[in-house]
Chain A
Amino acid sequence: MKEPADDHAPPAGIPVRRFEPVARPPAPSAVSNALVFGWRAVLKFRHVPEQLFDLVMTPIMFTLLFTFVFGGALAGSPREYLQFFLPGILVQTVTFNAVYSGMNLSTDLGKGLFDRFRSLPIWPLAPFAGLMIGDVLRHLIAATIILVIGLILGYRPEAGILGVLAAFALLVTIGFGFGWVFIVLGLLIRTPTTVMTLGFSFLFPLVFASNIMVDPATMPDWLRAFVEANPVSLMTTAVRGLMGGGMSLGQIALALLAPVALTALLAPVTLRLYRRQ
């Protein structure tokens, strides 16, 4: 490009237009910032509906395989096994779900999108709050799909609609608590696939050495001790209680232990890591 730009040349690509200065409106609240990021998560569902496919495919496969392949052997009949298994698979769904949001965060951070957010005068945690809103929606959608499939296969929640609603509230809380683990991983690790690998290596032992698939009564003592103390088992027991009737407040308190502890511990770490970058 040797020739100087001609100030009077016809507009090239961008129409001639004087920029009218636009002033800043009154600063929005932290909540409003967070809701805007939540709206972003909703738009993502609309534009990338495939992401839901990733979330529900594994649990659907698990449900079908376990119910029909192992169900008879494990519980006498597929029908009875489903009754036992479905609340557990819901817990598995929301914990695995949280891994995907860590991956999404890692992808976002790698693209420099957060640079824009960080140079805005907004509540610094708003993008994460928005992420959480998106996660909650994802948990609800995925859990609903699994429940509907369960109902079609013959699952019956004995505690009725209220039990199911309470169970969903607990599931969202569980997903929220686990979410922090993967947000921290997402902030630390720039390769989304590494976040996924690390996330699943952390979750697999927790999910499989739990009471989701089988009753630990038949396990050797040492394993049973682990399974019974495993937070995933505690959560599963509570969700089973809520949906099948016969829950106790003690069970729910135990199930909430891990999510509450994770939030208290990792929310400040998240803020630190984000500020440090």
Chain B
Amino acid sequence: MNGHAPGGAMPMAGAETLPLAVSAFGLVKCFGDVRAVDGVDLDVQRGAIFAILGPNGAGKTTLIRMLATLTVPDAGRASVMGHNLIAAPHKVRAAIAMTGQFASLDEDLTGRENLLLLARLWGFRGSKAKARADDLLEAFDLSEAAHKQVNAYSGGMRRRLDIAASLIVTPGLLFLDEPTTGLDPVARQGVWRMIRDLAGAGVTILLTTQYLDEADQLADRIAVIDHGRKIAEGTSRELKAATGSGTLHVALTDAARLGTAARLLEARLGGKVQSSAEGARLSIRAATPEQANEALASLLAEGIELADFAMGSPSLDEVFFALTGASSATDEGTSG
């Protein structure tokens, strides 16, 4: 059925001949009346870090679970690592690994036992299984906690162990569902670094995130989904460019004039101002630099002093809010 994908062969030739890591068409999944995923097409290149960005309930988890053979789609078709998702789930499973949104570890066992269990299930025997578990514990900085039961682990340690558990055998494609949710900034950077390392080793990564900066930092390509539909896709740069114009950022010396300034800018430029109280900053889309100039002039004419101003391309936040039509970002989004 799938146009490409020459059967189950694992071609060793040049990258161009390999099928896409994911090629999905019209995927649908309903839960009762809720269309959790509502006709999503997705192509993911081999070796890429691909981010699926969307708010709570957008359908990220459902989409990724379908691609990882954990949920059967109601409609649509897909091939994952060259194997048909519906017809050959076992072959798909041999080529992928998944770290779910919530840790899938045995809380009663120790970290090492969790990894040993999985290593043995993959077919490592005796001392090889032990070596594999110990290697992973070391790579994820968990050697010291190896013999502690997982229910005594911190959130960050759990996350690391959960990701390590997905890497017993290096997968061709790794699904990571919100890999850094709930982690502190240091742990988060650690996971980012690890994701880049894996990608460097040739593993295709398909991750979901609610954090714009995460998608911006990590991903080669981003798909934005909302209400089960893909509403945009491209590189971070493309998404920003597609929002069209640039953005005018101004900082006022006098926060009391914020309201007046916002009204003036909106009157001039016809968009909606996003403000952040801290530092008395405003930003608004401006179609051209000339218009931005005029708007600045009108502020000065009103006697509003500027501490700073800049014309920049929109941040991914702004792109996201423009796409989803959500209300103003105000002070949301950029806090880590």
B-binding residues in A (CB < 8 A): 1-2, 4-5, 7, 9, 11-28, 32-33, 36, 39-40, 43-44, 47-48, 111-122, 126
Contact = CB atoms under 8 A, between A and B. Distances in A.
Given A9-B189, A24-B122, A40-B109, A19 B102 contact: no
Given A22-B169, A121-B93, 13 more contacts: A5-B192, A13-B190, A14-B194, A19-B198, A21-B203, A22-B170, A23-B170, A48-B108, A111-B102, A113-B104, A115-B65, A115-B98, A119-B70
Nearest to B216: A4
B235 interface: no
Interface of B: 65, 68-70, 90, 93-94, 96-98, 100, 102-110, 113, 117-118, 120-125, 128, 132, 139-141, 149, 156, 160, 165, 167-170, 185-194, 196-198, 200-203, 213, 217, 334, 336
B186 A40 contact: no
A21 B202 contact: yes
Contacts of B191: 13-14
A9 B196 CA distance: 14
22 contacts: A5-B192, A13-B189, A14-B139, A14-B140, A14-B191, A17-B139, A22-B170, A23-B170, A24-B94, A25-B124, A28-B120, A47-B149, A111-B107, A113-B104, A115-B70, A115-B100, A116-B104, A116-B105, A116-B118, A119-B68, A119-B93, A121-B94
Contact of B123 (A15, A24, A111): A24
A119 B118 CA distance: 11
Contact of A12 (B65, B189, B336): B189
A121 B103 CA distance: 19
Given A25-B128, A36-B120, A39-B117, A112 B104 contact: yes
Nearest to A107: B107
B69 A119 contact: yes
Contacts of B336: 1-2
Contacts of A20: 201
Contacts of B202: 21
A19 B120 CA distance: 20
A35 to B, nearest CB: 9
Contacts of B197: 17-19
